[in-house]
Structure 1
Amino acid sequence: MAYATSRAGRVTMLGLRGIPNIQGGVERHVEILSRELTRLGWHITVIGRRQYMREKSKATWNGIALVPLWSPRRMALEAAVHTFVGVLYAAVHRPDVLHIHAIGPSLMVPLARLLGLKVVVTHHGFDYDRQKWGPLAKRLLKLGEALGMKFANGRIAVAGGVARAMEERYGVPVNFVPNGVEIHTAESTGNALDRFGLSGQSYVLTVARLVPEKRQTDLIDAFARLNTGDRKLVVVGGSEFETPYSRQVKEMAGKVPGVIMTGFQTGSDLAALFSNAALFVLPSSHEGMPIALLEALGNGLPVLASDIPANLEVGLAAEDYFPLGDVEALAAAIRRKLAEPSSPEEKRRKAEQIESQYGWPSIAERTAVVYRAVLT
């Protein structure tokens, strides 16, 4: 792949748990985007939260500088305190661009600007719609959105609907740059399938953190209503904190035959689980731009997704959606999809289409355009 030459500078990424191979859509986004920007000649530093990162001191990974900084191990404080510390770190080291991800960390955009930093903000979705947040947290997230949109030098949204909403709400230009998809094809069953007692095309797959808005409980409930024979339901994902919801998912899974909880998976194991599934399901009530859905499509899988705006924006056929929260409709849709498997030609066509629309190299180029505009 030939990359266009560009005026490249130093960019610091902030607002995530860290990289590499750390669970979360923002983490996945930053990991691959940073790699592609490095290939374009940009010098990337990623500031992460020390407790999540494999390296506990400064390190380099695939040409990306990794900086683990302290943060409190409390869900309500972790992101805000870490972003504050990260902004101070950036103020000392003076990158050309400080790129803050998500609206919670965007609370610190005015501080970064006061300290003389050029700031780009990426809006990854309306986080205040997540079920896990209480009224105070939701107000703070909305404030973070407002401060990020009003005070950043450059603005990106990963979904077209989010970009349009921000432009209308705050009267500022917002660049639509979607999440990307990276495919690691794994044709063999591999260690992951052997470890969980699976075979190719024998299971329904979902991949997401165990948080209420991902609604794994709906999927487990729907699967329990099916007469699937030897089919299994594989639930990939974990939870950073033990919560009532994560306990509920595990308890439900333990009561329904054929449900397998794998925990968080990454790399070749996750690739094997994707490429050998019979069907991928995303039942969530909240998404920014759903990376897991894109990766399933990039693997050519038949998919089912809830009919929320972010999923509808992917532009699937009508039969690939089901009404959010309608367990009976989801069960019927799963039954229909499993009875009508895709041909190899259809899978190949679907994978090629998604890769052409959401390839990471072009997304990195579009992000670099925003950086250059800020720097000039």
Structure 2
Amino acid sequence: MQNCDTSSRKLRIAVLGLRGFPGVQGGIERHCQELYPRLAELGCDITLFARKSYVPQPHPYTYKNVKIIPLWAPRMKNLEAICHTAIGIFRLSKHPNDYDILHIHGIGPSLLAYPASHMNFRLVITHHGPDYKRLKWGAFAKTMLRRGERLGAKHAYLIIAVSKHIKTLLLDKYDSYAAYIPNGVTIPKAIPPGPVLSNFGLSPGRYFLAVGRLVPEKGFHDLLNAYERSNTDWKLVIVGDADHEDYYSKRLKKGAKNVDGVVMTGFQTGEALAELYSNAGLFVLPSYHEGLPIAGLEAMGCNLPILLSDIPSNKELAFREETFSVGDIEALSQRLSAFSGNPPLFNSPHILAEKRKRLETEFNWDIIAKKTVDLYRAVVKMPHRMGTDSLRRLQRGITAELDLYGSAAEQKNEKD
């Protein structure tokens, strides 16, 4: 393995498409907060353009050797991502020789893949999931997201897929060869019952835990209805909040107040979140859409039994007996009742060993970072403005090599 240093200088990476970090809610944000400091440790020079209203301060700052530059963006769910990306690309156009790679996260910002791909740097896109399947978007927004996915597949030098399902989707729809580099997990430190459980009136091992933003595609409305129908004396804890308070989030919070045993904690992070994971009885994720759920990975890292909806990305994490049919409220209610009444041996020694192996190899952030560096180094060697056939041939070769490296690195880490 090589790091990001070249013979003369560091590899320079600009990053767009996320709200920012540290401590910002969202799967892409969690992904980037774990990935980019590791890339900086490997010798990359990282500059990340954040959205000013989300990050701790309005002026440029450094977080774990990552330079973060806050830029203005309208705080409107339909406009902020694309406006922020446009502003970021315009700023980059003023300094076309300052970066080797522009790394865009998400298919919404990928609407601007064409102009981004025609600058001096190479364009890499991480596809975090088909966002046009999110329930919160209307018809026009979904059309734009599909277009962003298509433009990203056409103009990116290389695409990273965070799940195998996404990798297959890109090949089937666009004949685009993506590199499978998944989300990872930093295994939360086990924390005994303490002030967080006390403040929320929770008993260790006797509550269901759900973690995520309060948006329709997370399916928390289904979970609330299923819990209300269930025959259980466990509590239901929903951790998270809405980025943009809307009708759905207000209705969900109002509904939760009318159901005995439901605890809405708001957004939690750090040791508070770790304490909630460490002492839960069952982690539940009833989502309709995911890229690859970091919350599910964190629950696995805590040896917590999981119950996930059977969408393709969730099925990449869970055994069959750990899933239920998405949207089936009655089935979910029955599973909650059965589990709290007589918790099954989801976490048998065999299942625990298999999950631990995957967490230490496939979902290991250090391996993920090294694989990303290899991808960057391959991309900077690609010629500018290739024809489609030449681009696809190079993509196919690079992704095949990365897949082989990933398997070898995982096997080495397992032996170590």
- On whether the aligned pair clears a TM of 0.5, the verdict is yes
Counterpart of 2:368 in 1: which secondary structure?
Answer: helix
Aligned to 1:136: 140
User: CA shift at 1:92, angstroms?
Assistant: 3.1
Structure 1 residue 113 corresponds to structure 2 residue 127: no
State how 1:256-267 maps to structure 2 within 5 Å: 256-267=259-270
Structure 1 residue 367 corresponds to structure 2 residue 375: no
Aligned to 2:252: 249
Corresponding residue to 2:276 among 266, 273, 276: 273
Q: Which amino acid aligns with 1:45?
A: T
Paired residue total: 372
User: CA shift at 1:216, angstroms?
Assistant: 0.4
Aligned to 2:219: 215
Corresponding residue to 1:355 among 355, 359, 376: 359
Aligned-partner Cα distance in 2 for 1:336–1:10? 53
Q: Contact 1:279–1:303 (CA<8 Å) still a contact in 2?
A: yes
TM-score, normalising length: structure 1: 0.95
Aligned-partner Cα distance in 1 for 2:110–2:357? 34
Counterpart of 1:373 in 2: which secondary structure?
Answer: helix
User: CA shift at 1:317, angstroms?
Assistant: 2.0
Aligned-partner Cα distance in 1 for 2:150–2:136? 21
Q: Which amino acid aligns with 2:294?
A: I
Corresponding residue to 2:203 among 182, 199, 202: 199
Counterpart of 2:205 in 1: which secondary structure?
Answer: coil
Q: Contact 2:2–2:374 (CA<8 Å) still a contact in 1?
A: no
Aligned to 1:336: 338
Counterpart of 1:311 in 2: which secondary structure?
Answer: helix
Aligned-partner Cα distance in 2 for 1:103–1:232? 37
Sequence identity percentage? 44
User: CA shift at 1:335, angstroms?
Assistant: 2.2
Aligned to 1:160: 164
Structure 1 residue 42 corresponds to structure 2 residue 44: yes
User: CA shift at 1:173, angstroms?
Assistant: 1.8
Q: Which amino acid aligns with 1:182?
A: T
User: CA shift at 1:4, angstroms?
Assistant: 5.3
Shift of the 41–160 alpha-carbon distance from structure 1 to 2, 3 Å rule, reads same
Deviations 1:83-108 (A, max 9, x none): 00111222334221110000000011
Aligned-partner Cα distance in 2 for 1:13–1:107? 15
Q: Contact 1:71–1:78 (CA<8 Å) still a contact in 2?
A: yes
Deviations 1:116-163 (A, max 9, x none): 221100010000011111111111111111111111111111111111
Aligned-partner Cα distance in 2 for 1:90–1:337? 53
Q: Contact 1:298–1:352 (CA<8 Å) still a contact in 2?
A: yes
Q: Contact 1:215–1:284 (CA<8 Å) still a contact in 2?
A: yes
Deviations 1:183-234 (A, max 9, x none): 12132223322221223212100001000011101111111122322x2100
Further displaced range: 347-356 or 63-72: 347-356
User: CA shift at 1:354, angstroms?
Assistant: 3.7
Which consecutive residues of structure 2, in runs of 5 or more, have no partner in the other structure? Answer: 382-416
Counterpart of 2:94 in 1: which secondary structure?
Answer: helix
Further displaced range: 127-136 or 7-16: 7-16
Structure 1 residue 290 corresponds to structure 2 residue 290: no
Further displaced range: 158-167 or 16-25: 158-167
Deviations 1:325-352 (A, max 9, x none): 1111101112222322657967863662
Counterpart of 1:358 in 2: which secondary structure?
Answer: coil
Q: Which amino acid aligns with 1:371?
A: Y
Further displaced range: 342-351 or 270-279: 342-351
Q: Which amino acid aligns with 2:368?
A: I
Deviations 1:216-274 (A, max 9, x none): 01111111122322x21000010011111101211111111010001111111111111
Q: Contact 2:193–2:279 (CA<8 Å) still a contact in 1?
A: yes
Which consecutive residues of structure 1, in runs of 5 or more, have no partner in the other structure? Answer: none
Aligned to 1:72: 74
Q: Which amino acid aligns with 1:71?
A: A
User: CA shift at 1:172, angstroms?
Assistant: 2.4
Structure 1 residue 174 corresponds to structure 2 residue 169: no
Aligned to 1:150: 154
Q: Contact 1:299–1:351 (CA<8 Å) still a contact in 2?
A: no
Aligned-partner Cα distance in 1 for 2:319–2:168? 23
Counterpart of 1:194 in 2: which secondary structure?
Answer: helix
Corresponding residue to 1:324 among 314, 317, 326: 326
Aligned-partner Cα distance in 2 for 1:344–1:172? 39
Instruction: Give the superposed CA RMSD.
Output: 1.7
TM-score, normalising length: structure 2: 0.86
